[in-house]
C-alpha cells in the first residue's frame, strides 16, 4: 500500500491545468485568477478629503501639532469660504492663502489646499468660517496613490477572488478579469444495487448518496459536476460509462474498486489502456483508492462506502481540482484542536476520524468524536465539521492531546456568539 503523501503527490503530478477565460468582474466571485492583475490607476486617483469639513489655504500651516494659537500662523478666522466642493465634483479654482473651501468626504482637494479641518472643529460657517483647532499640515487629506500605486500588482495568479479582492479591483475601474475555467468532473456511480433518489427501492437496493454528495463537493471545489449515471457491475457497463466520461477534465467513479467478484472498475480502466498510477492507500477509511490516466484524462476510482468516498475526495480529488485551477492554496485548512474525548485506532494505517469541533470558553479550538466511525455511517459525517488526522503508527490520541483537524469548510466554524461583548 502507498503512503498517503506519496499517493497525493502522484495525483498532483498528473494534474492538467485548465484554460483561462475572461469573465465580468461581478460574475467572478470565488474563481481562481489565471493572471496577475496590475493596477491601471492609483488609489485614490487624486488627493481627496477624508472628512466633511473645510479645505484650508496655506497661510503657514502648522507643522508641529502645537495647540498654541500663533503656532504655524493659521488664521483662526473668520476665513472666506470661496467654494463648495461636493463628492463627485471637481474644484473650480486654486485655493489661495487665507481662504477656505467647504468640502465633503471623498471630494477632490483643490490645488493650494494644505489641510482639511473637520466641520466639528469649526463654527460651520457658510460665507465665512472660524476654526476651533489648528490642524496639522496635510491633516485629513488622502493622498493620491497612498493605498495603491499605478502599476502595482494588486492580485496574483492563483489567488481566489474574494469579495474584498473584487471590491479592490472594482475600485480600480476593472470590469473584467481573467480566471481559470471551471474543470468538468464526470461522476460515475457503479453497482447493481444503486438506484437514483425518488425511485422505489427494490430488494437489496440502496439510494445513490455518493453522486449527490460528490456533486456538491465538486461545486465547492470549483468544478462543474457531470452526472454520467449509474453503471451496472459488468465490465461492459463500466467501460461504456468511462467512454461517456472521457470528454471531461477529470473522472471520478464510486464503488467497484475493491477485491470482490463484481469489482470491475480497475479492469475497465485497464481495458481502455489506462496508465495506472496506484491502487490502495494506507488510509482509513478509503483504502481501496485507485488512480490512473485514461486517454489523457486523470481518473479516480473511489470506494463505494459513502464515508470512504467523502474522505478520499477531500484528501485526493479536491486538491487535484484546485491544482488544475492553479490555486496557490489547493488544500483544506488544517488546525490543531484540543481533544475532549479520546480517539482510538489500530496501528498501521492513517485514520481520518470524524470530529465535532467548536470554540471552547478558553477561546481555543476543541474537538470531540462525532460518533461511530464505520465507513457506512453517514449520520456522524453529517454531524462532523472536520477530520482528525491520526498518523499510521499512532494508537490514537488521549483526551487533552492536540491533534491536527482538517476542516470541511471555514463556514463550519461559524458560532452563535459574535466573539466580542463590547
> Residues 187-199: pLDDT tens digits?
999 999 999 988 9
Report how far residue 284's alpha carbon sits from residue 308's, in angstroms, rounded to the nearest whole number. 8
Report how far residue 170's alpha carbon sits from residue 27's, in angstroms, rounded to the nearest whole number. 12
Q: Which helix or strand (DSSP H or E) is residue 214 part of?
A: helix 209-221
- Looking at residue 63, its pLDDT comes to 42
User: Which contacts (CB < 8 Å, 24+ apart) does range 391-397 have?
Assistant: 391/350, 392/3, 392/282, 392/347, 392/348, 392/349, 392/350, 393/347, 393/348, 394/345, 394/347, 395/344, 395/345, 395/346, 395/347, 396/342, 396/343, 396/344, 396/345, 396/351, 397/339, 397/342, 397/343
Report how far residue 331's alpha carbon sits from residue 316's, in angstroms, rounded to the nearest whole number. 9
- Looking at residue 415, its pLDDT comes to 73
Q: Which fold has domain 334-413?
A: Beta-clip (2.40.340)
Cell (9 digits) for 83: 467654494
Q: CA-CA distances (angstroms) from residue 272 to 191, 236, 275, 294?
A: 20, 11, 9, 7
Which architecture does CATH list for 4-15+182-324?
Answer: 3-Layer(aba) Sandwich (3.40)
Whole-model pTM: value is 0.90
Ranges of CATH 3.90.105.10 domains, the chain: 27-41+152-180
Superfamily of domain 46-143: Molybdopterin biosynthesis moea protein, domain 3. (2.170.190.11)
- Looking at residue 59, its pLDDT comes to 64
Cell (9 digits) for 23: 469573465
Report CA 239 to chain centroid distance, whole Å: 36
Ranges of CATH 2.40.340.10 domains, the chain: 334-413
- Looking at residue 420, its pLDDT comes to 72
Q: Which residues of the chain have pLDDT under 70?
A: 59-75, 410-413
What is the SS3 assignment for 285? coil
Q: CA-CA distances (angstroms) from residue 379 to 198, 292, 400?
A: 20, 31, 25
Q: Is CATH 3.90.105.10 correct for 27-41+152-180?
A: yes
Ranges of CATH 2.170.190.11 domains, the chain: 46-143
Q: Under a CB-based contact definition with an 8 Å cutoff, are residues 256 and 238 in contact? A: yes
Can you list the positions of beta strands (E) in 288-415?
290-294, 297-302, 334-339, 343-344, 350-359, 365-369, 386-390, 396-397, 402-407
Report how far residue 142's alpha carbon sits from residue 148's, in angstroms, rounded to the nearest whole number. 12
Q: Under a CB-based contact definition with an 8 Å cutoff, are residues 245 and 272 in contact? A: no
Report how far residue 332's alpha carbon sits from residue 198's, in angstroms, rounded to the nearest whole number. 33
- Looking at residue 220, its pLDDT comes to 96
Q: Which helix or strand (DSSP H or E) is residue 209 part of?
A: helix 209-221
Cell (9 digits) for 342: 479520546
Amino acid at each position: 500500500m502507498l503512503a498517503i503523501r506519496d499517493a497525493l503527490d502522484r495525483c498532483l503530478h498528473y494534474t492538467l491545468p485548465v484554460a483561462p477565460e475572461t469573465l465580468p468582474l461581478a460574475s467572478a466571485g470565488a474563481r481562481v485568477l489565471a493572471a496577475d492583475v496590475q493596477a491601471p490607476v492609483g488609489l485614490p486617483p487624486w488627493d481627496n478629503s477624508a472628512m466633511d469639513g473645510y479645505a484650508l489655504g496655506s497661510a503657514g500651516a502648522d507643522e508641529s501639532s502645537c495647540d498654541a494659537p500663533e503656532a504655524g500662523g493659521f488664521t483662526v478666522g473668520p476665513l472666506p469660504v470661496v467654494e463648495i466642493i461636493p463628492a463627485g465634483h471637481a474644484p473650480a479654482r486654486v485655493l489661495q492663502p487665507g481662504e477656505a473651501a467647504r468640502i465633503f468626504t471623498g471630494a477632490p482637494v483643490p490645488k493650494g489646499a494644505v489641510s482639511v479641518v473637520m466641520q466639528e472643529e469649526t463654527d460651520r460657517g457658510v460665507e465665512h468660517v472660524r476654526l476651533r483647532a489648528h490642524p496639522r499640515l496635510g491633516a485629513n487629506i488622502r493622498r493620491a496613490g497612498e493605498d495603491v500605486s499605478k502599476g502595482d500588482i494588486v492580485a496574483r495568479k492563483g489567488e481566489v477572488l474574494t469579495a474584498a479582492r473584487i471590491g479592490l479591483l472594482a475600485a480600480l475601474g476593472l470590469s473584467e478579469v481573467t480566471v481559470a475555467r471551471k474543470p468538468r468532473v464526470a461522476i460515475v456511480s457503479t453497482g447493481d444495487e444503486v438506484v437514483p433518489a425518488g425511485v422505489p427501492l427494490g430488494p437489496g437496493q440502496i439510494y445513490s448518496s455518493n453522486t449527490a454528495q460528490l456533486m456538491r463537493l465538486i461545486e465547492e471545489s470549483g468544478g462543474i459536476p457531470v452526472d454520467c449515471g449509474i453503471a451496472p457491475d459488468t465490465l461492459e457497463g463500466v467501460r461504456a460509462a468511462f467512454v461517456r466520461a472521457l470528454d471531461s477534465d477529470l473522472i471520478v467513479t464510486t464503488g467497484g474498486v475493491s477485491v470482490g467478484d463484481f469489482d470491475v472498475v480497475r479492469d475497465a480502466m485497464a481495458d481502455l489502456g489506462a496508465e495506472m498510477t496506484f491502487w490502495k492507500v494506507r488510509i482509513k477509511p478509503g483504502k481501496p483508492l485507485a488512480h490512473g490516466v485514461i486517454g489523457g484524462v486523470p481518473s479516480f476510482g473511489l470506494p463505494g462506502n459513502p464515508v470512504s468516498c467523502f474522505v478520499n475526495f477531500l484528501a485526493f480529488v479536491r486538491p487535484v481540482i484546485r491544482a488544475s485551477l492553479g490555486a496557490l492554496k489547493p488544500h483544506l485548512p488544517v488546525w490543531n484542536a484540543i481533544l475532549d474525548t479520546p480517539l482510538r485506532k489500530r496501528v498501521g494505517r492513517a485514520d481520518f476520524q470524524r470530529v465535532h469541533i467548536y470554540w471552547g470558553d478558553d477561546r481555543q479550538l476543541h474537538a470531540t468524536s462525532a460518533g461511530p466511525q464505520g465507513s457506512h455511517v453517514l449520520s456522524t459525517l453529517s454531524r462532523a465539521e472536520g477530520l482528525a488526522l491520526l498518523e499510521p503508527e499512532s494508537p490514537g490520541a488521549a483526551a487533552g492531546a492536540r491533534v491536527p483537524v482538517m476542516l470541511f469548510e471555514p463556514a463550519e466554524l461559524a458560532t452563535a456568539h459574535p466573539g466580542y461583548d463590547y
